[in-house]
Amino acid sequence: MRNKSTTMRSLALALTLLAVQAGVQAQTPAAAPAQLRLWPDGAPGAEKRHNEPEKNDNSYLSNIHDPSLTLMRANPRHANGAAVIIVPGGGHRILVFQNEGVVAAKSLNRVGVTAFVLKYRLARDPGSTYSIENDAAADLRRAVRWVRAHAGEYGVDPQRLGIMGFSAGGELVSLVADNPEPSPPARQDAVDKLSARPDFQILVYPGPLGSPAKSAQNAPPAFIVAGSNDKCCMPPALSLYQQLVGAGVSAELHLYADTDHAFNMGQRSERLSDVHWPDRLADWLSDGGWLIPHNGQAPQGVPAP
């Protein structure tokens, strides 16, 4: 009887320890998303500020000198190989990293798209020596090339790679997707030999820089969304749409009534149409064939980069 009692107490203790261990594991926070530096030894022209800490003010980032991508993978159960580089806005002074980066990435993850959120150099950060056209746009071009170079590591198709920008980030998207590259990178490596032209572009209340496009006829398919009351960014969204369509580029435009700037992924608006605009993006991605593997080829009818 004594042996049986001892065995029962040992079993109960073991079960208690397992339960405690399971509780501790359940409370352990998920691993932080991977931070992927675009230039391991520092960005060209910014080497002296390499490894300088970023500033984070309630998820608004600044003091960025090491451009990077934050990887947010789609669930393997429904990942389809499509990828999007997300470019947050913030007037080139800050990055609205959470609402125009992480939230957008999670929305794309739900439709099987792997997302990379870009941290780029800020030309209007106080004391900055960077420029929008030469440095911030170069960071986005490098990001496109970098994802293509490492596509196999992250299970993405290098021929189904899009870029998505909000406000100031939308300006960078237009500069890269709708305008010619000014000159080859000053400091080249194997990554720089790949194309920086995205396969598709998504512009969310894009700023005016980059429009009118100087190479509209070579631009990739576009999805454009803005608010009708947005005095800053509705006019360039509309004019870019008209220019792309006039050049024979497949483009879709959504202008939402009684909506101003910075509605993000719809979470900052009480209007149902604004809340559901990401569904229209998912429809467009599906209709364009971007969510379906094509054996390393672009969807039919889409010119290769």
Range of the domain at 188: 31-287
Question: Does residue 24 lie within any of the structural domains?
Answer: no
> Which residue in 175, 148, 178 sits closest to 85, CA to CA?
148
Question: Does residue 15 lie within any of the structural domains?
Answer: no
> Which residue in 145, 132, 85, 83 sits closest to 111, CA to CA?
83
CA atoms 141, 195, 162, 284: torsion sign: positive
Per-residue pLDDT tens, the chain, 305 aa: give them: 455 555 556 555 555 545 545 554 545 456 788 999 999 999 999 999 999 999 999 999 999 999 999 999 999 999 999 999 999 999 999 999 999 999 999 999 999 999 999 999 999 999 999 999 999 999 999 999 999 999 999 999 999 999 999 999 999 999 999 999 987 766 679 999 999 999 999 999 999 999 999 999 999 999 999 999 999 999 999 999 999 999 999 999 999 999 999 999 998 888 999 999 999 999 999 999 999 987 766 777 666 66
Rounded to whole angstroms, how far apart are CA atoms 291 and 93? 34
Question: Does residue 149 lie within any of the structural domains?
Answer: yes
> Which residue in 285, 287, 286, 305 sits closest to 296, CA to CA?
305
CATH code for the domain of 146 = 3.40.50.1820
Question: Does residue 297 lie within any of the structural domains?
Answer: no
Question: Does residue 4 lie within any of the structural domains?
Answer: no
Burial of 128 (0-12, 13-18, 19+ CB in 10 A): middle
Question: Does residue 14 lie within any of the structural domains?
Answer: no
Question: Does residue 214 lie within any of the structural domains?
Answer: yes
pTM: 0.88
CA 125 to chain centre: 21
Question: Does residue 16 lie within any of the structural domains?
Answer: no
> How many folded domains does the chain comprise?
1
Rounded to whole angstroms, how far apart are CA atoms 22 and 26? 6
